[in-house]
A and B are shown apart, each in its own frame.
Chain A
């Protein structure tokens, strides 16, 4: 089955600086890679995602890059703010029923990165 590794487990950055979180996956059939943000005591919230036919995607201060050959993807947060402090999870999914998909797929998650923004 799929295995997702995430690094670092904890990341502390100064407010205004950039943060980068990296993930690797094992199964080359994975084709969908979301990132979730989870604040303490709250549900995971989808913040950005990327599919295997795209190399990079950006949404305001956050961006995700994907390297299919190396099987790794990264989350980039620029101009960090105190409200960015949270645990971030990467995930990967393999299409049900082969590459043609057609079903709903469970996600395999990384262990999470605790991002701390220092004022």
Chain B
């Protein structure tokens, strides 16, 4: 598959569950991002990774834990979430030195 892929596409979890979101990019990029898209807010940057190193954490609560094992894969580990964390979580990638970011289809997360 080409471009940026995300799994699962939909996830329903309870507040005490632990789950992980996965993102994979097939574009040869070396920077990856997590964004949160809520109904009444703009897309919010959560984390930035450059060459597998986290370079930005946009004041995200510790119940969200990112992991970037290599330049092609990005995970978001979730635990003890709140209902207000329900949102669309989007992954994006880019080439360091180039500005264009390409988004995955997102994971629709519902916390019950």
Q: Write the nearest CB–CB distance from B84 to chain A, whole angstroms.
A: 18
Residue from A96, A104, A110 with most neighbouring chain B CB atoms (10 Å)? A104
Interface set of B (CB-CB < 8 Å, partner A):
4, 30-31, 33, 35, 41-45, 48-50, 55-56, 58, 90, 94, 96-97, 99-106
The 5 closest A-B pairs by CB, nearest first: A104-B31, A106-B45, A109-B43, A109-B42, A32-B99
**Interface size on A (CB < 8 Å)?**
28
Are B55 and A103 in touch, CB under 8 angstroms?
yes
A residues less than 8 Å from B31 (CB atoms): 103-104
Let me know if B43 and A44 touch, CB within 8 A.
Answer: yes
Q: Does A12 contact B (CB under 8 A)?
A: no
Proximity bits, A34-64, B CB within 8 Å = 1, else 0: 1010000011111001010000000000000
Decide: B33 and A106 in contact? CB cutoff 8 A: yes
Contact residues in A for B94 (Cβ distance below 8 Å)? 104
Task: Check A34/B101 contact, CB under 8 A, given A103-B55, A106-B33.
Answer: yes
Query: Known: A44-B90, A49-B99, A112-B42. Is A106-B105 also a contact (CB below 8 A)?
Result: no
Type the 1/0 row for A94-119, where 1 means its CB is closer than 8 Å to any CB of B.
00100001111111111110000000
Known: A104-B31, A106-B48, A109-B42. A46 touches B100 (CB 8 A): yes
- Chain A residues whose CB sits within 8 angstroms of the CB of B50 once the complex forms: 96, 103-104
> Which of chain B's residues have a CB closer than 8 A to the CB of A105?
48, 99
Contact A43 B99 (CB under 8 A): no
Q: Within 8 Å CB of A112, what residues of B?
A: 42
Q: Which residues of A contact B100 (CB under 8 A)?
A: 34, 46, 49
